Amino acid sequence: MEALLAVAVILIGAFAFASLVQRWLSPKPKGPQNNVGSPQIIVKAEPPSTAPPFPQEPRAPAPRAVAPLAALQRIYRSPLPSRFVVLDLETTGLSPEIHEIIEVEAIRADRDAGTQTIFQRLVRPQQRIPANIVRMTGISQAMLDADGSALGEVLAEFLQFIEDLPLVIFNASFDMNFLQNAGHKHGIRISNPYTCALQLSRHAWPELSSHRLQDIARFRNLPLDDSHRAIGDCERTLQVFVDAASACSGQITWTVCAAAVGLAPRSSYDGSALRSPSNYVRQAAPELRGMAGLLLRLGVPGVGERTSEALADKFGSIDALMRASPEELERAEHVGPRISETITDFFARDANRELIGRLKAAGVEMTAEKKVREDKLAGLTFVLTGTLPTLSREEAKKRIEDAGGKTAGSVSRKTSYVVAGEDAGSKLDKAKSLGVPVIDEAGLLAMLSAEGQTGTSG
């Protein structure tokens, strides 16, 4: 029996050895060979059997490159700065491509001086605000209609407010995506470094189960008064940021969106003007009104309707504007250090100077319209709020500015008069609290028609 078992084992071994030799000697399939240690991916020219090959799902088309916020960024670390700006936005939804900004609020903090300056502007959206957003934010459509301003105008003012200071944002990825997207649409470059207070708080207090702003505020015994909407969130974010930075030994991570640095200037026609001045004239000429209209069409960063008109009034021609120094630019209304820098940078670019020359050769008007201005309201600053009986907001602004007055978007102690209409909003309340005189449309028209009256700031 033992002899039979031994023979069986020998036969089985011989059979296995013969099979192995046969596999070694059989021809190998031709095709790319993997290097040692590389992933074992076998590429075959033909399917292994007559059965149909395994169906492959169609490959999705490659996404269009749109330079997302996360692209082209650089990171650096620094201690807690003495001056910075805390920002919070209110929006109509979660997508910066679909939804709109309806409020921009910020606090400019100076820790050395112990001062805080508030920026608070409502933005008039192109579509009506959804009911759930009204409930969530407390911002109604009537408020936006009465006190809201165009987004481009608000962004230009915000750009002057933040200067070159770093931005502190609780949920930075959300707000910066909205801000950068809005800036891109309006030709405004926002390249300030920014940090995320939410991420900083997670490093500072990892033991917390939730790092929502309200939960951190309760943990730090901060007030939860939301009566002023985003300003309340700004105040809480400011305190959370300072406390979290202290808990993290003062080292803060800042992000700079390098895609904004050296950003190619945008035109209203997505570059068609750069390719064809005649095309620019054909499309833009019906709406151009001299130099101010040209500045709008060029898409100079930070230059909206009011700033373009102020520059046209101040310099009279594109050639004079291009020769102006930053100090001379800042003597024009609505132009601060940041806007003067962007204007100087825009006209220093060879491509833009070449475009100006081609547009001039094509017959585009390069000088300002001659306007006869009165001085009845000289030295006076007006803020408009609510719906006026006969004048639109733009008509009232034009009447005031043509009479030598100025208009502003927010009420301060420097405001001379607030012109209030129906459904006046928070600007009226602020005017009363500051003791700023309030007039209606009839009062404004009476000032405009008064003979021989000259304005005073008192």
Per-residue pLDDT reduced to its tens digit, 9-59: 566 555 555 554 455 444 444 444 433 333 333 333 334 333 333 333 333
Q: How confident is the model at residue 399 (pLDDT cuts 50, 70, 90)?
A: confident
Question: What confidence score (pLDDT) does residue 19 get?
Answer: 56
Residue 434 pLDDT exceeds 80: yes
CB 374 within 8 A of CB 402: yes
Inter-residue contact 379 to 456 (CB < 8 Å): yes
> Which element (helix H / strand E) includes 335?
none
What percent of the chain clears pLDDT 70, i.e. is strictly above it?
70
Q: Return d(Cα 72, Cα 74) in angstroms, integer.
A: 7
Query: Which of 107-111, 119-123, 255-259, 318-322 has the lowest average pLDDT?
Result: 255-259
On whether the CB atoms of residues 124 and 148 are closer than 8 A, the answer is yes
With H, G, I as helix, E, B as strand and everything else as coil, classify residue 36. Answer: coil
Nearest residue to 89 via CA among 178, 158, 200:
178
User: To the nearest 5 percent, what fractions of the chain are helix, strand and coil?
Assistant: 40, 15, 45
| Predicted local confidence at residue 433, as pLDDT | 92
Burial 209-229, CB ≥16 within 10 A → b, else e: eebebeebbebeebeeeeeeb
What is the reported pLDDT for 286?
Answer: 34
Q: Rounded to the nearest 10 degrees, what angle do helices 197-204 and 230-247 cross at?
A: 40
Residue 62 scores a pLDDT above 50: no
Mean pLDDT to the nearest integer, 160-188: 88
Q: Residue 419: what pLDDT?
A: 94
Instruction: Measure the CA–CA gap between 102 and 180, rounded to whole angstroms.
Output: 15
The per-residue pLDDT for 121 is 93
- What pTM, to 2 d.p., does this model score? 0.45
Residue from 394, 409, 298 nearest 353 by CA: 298
The tokens for 35 are 């290097």
**Of 359, 347, 357, 186, nearest in space to 280 by CA:** 359
Decide if pLDDT at 176 tops 50.
yes
Q: Which comes out higher in pLDDT, residue 359 or 166?
A: 166
**Residue 192: other Cβ atoms inside 10 A:** 22
Q: Determine the pLDDT at residue 409.
A: 81
Confidence band for 6, pLDDT divided at 50, 70 and 90: low
Characterize 437-456 residue by residue with b for buried, 16 or more Cβ atoms within 10 angstroms of its Cβ, and e for exposed: ebebbeebbebbeeeebebe
> Does position 149 have pLDDT exceeding 90, yes or no?
yes
Rg of the chain's alpha carbons, rounded to an integer?
32
Mean pLDDT of the chain: 75
* Cα–Cα distance for residue pair 305/274, rounded to 1 Å: 22
DSSP 8-class letter at 64: P
Q: Which CATH number is 73-260 given? A: 3.30.420.10
Spatial CB neighbours of 289, under 8 Å, sequence gap ≥ 6: 369
- 87 DSSP β-pair partners: 106, 169
Q: What is d(CA 152, CA 126) in angstroms, rounded to the nearest whole number?
A: 12
Q: Which fold has domain 381-449?
A: Rossmann fold (3.40.50)
Cβ-proximal residues to 318 (8 Å cutoff; 6+ apart), any chain: 291, 294, 295, 356, 360, 366, 367
Q: Crossing angle, helix 350-361 and helix 290-298, to 10 degrees?
A: 140
Gap between the Cα atoms of 231 and 106, Å rounded: 7
Nearest of 262, 244, 261 to residue 253 by alpha carbon: 244
Q: Does 280 score more than 50 pLDDT?
A: no
pLDDT, mean of residues 69-90: 75
pLDDT tier for residue 74 given thresholds of 50, 70 and 90: low
Task: Check residue 5 and give its pLDDT.
Answer: 57
- The predicted pLDDT at position 46 comes to 36
pLDDT tier for residue 418 given thresholds of 50, 70 and 90: very high
In this predicted model, what pLDDT tens digit does every residue of 183-221 receive, in sequence order? 888 888 788 899 999 989 988 888 888 888 888 988 888
- pLDDT tens, residue by residue, 326-343: 999 988 887 888 788 888
Q: What pLDDT, on a 0 to 100 scale, did the predictor assign at position 48?
A: 39
Give the mean model confidence (pLDDT) for residues 407-414.
87
Q: What is the pLDDT of residue 452?
A: 45
Amino acid at residue number 149: S
Q: What length does the chain have?
A: 458
275's tokens: 């390719």
Of 246, 10, 93, 349, which is closest to residue 2 (Cα–Cα)?
A: 10
Higher confidence at residue 285 or residue 106?
106
Architecture in CATH for domain 272-361: Orthogonal Bundle (1.10)
Helix (H, G, I), strand (E, B) or coil at 255: strand
Query: Could you read off the pLDDT of 291-322 as tens digits, one per residue?
Result: 887 887 776 766 776 788 889 888 999 999 99
Q: Is the pLDDT of residue 430 over 70?
A: yes
Please give the average per-residue pLDDT across 131-160, as a whole number: 89
Two tokens at 257?
A: 């969106």
Q: Where are the domains of the chain?
A: 73-260, 272-361, 381-449
Pairwise CA distance, residues 437 & 7, whole Å? 117
Bridge partners for 194 per DSSP: 167, 255
pLDDT of residue 287: 40
The amino acid that residue 128 corresponds to is: R
**Average pLDDT of 94-115?**
89
Separation of CA 142 from chain center: 24
As a whole number, mean pLDDT of residues 98-115 equals 91
Q: How confident is the model at residue 262 (pLDDT cuts 50, 70, 90)?
A: very low
pLDDT tier for residue 118 given thresholds of 50, 70 and 90 = very high
Amino acid at 64: R
pLDDT score for 379: 87
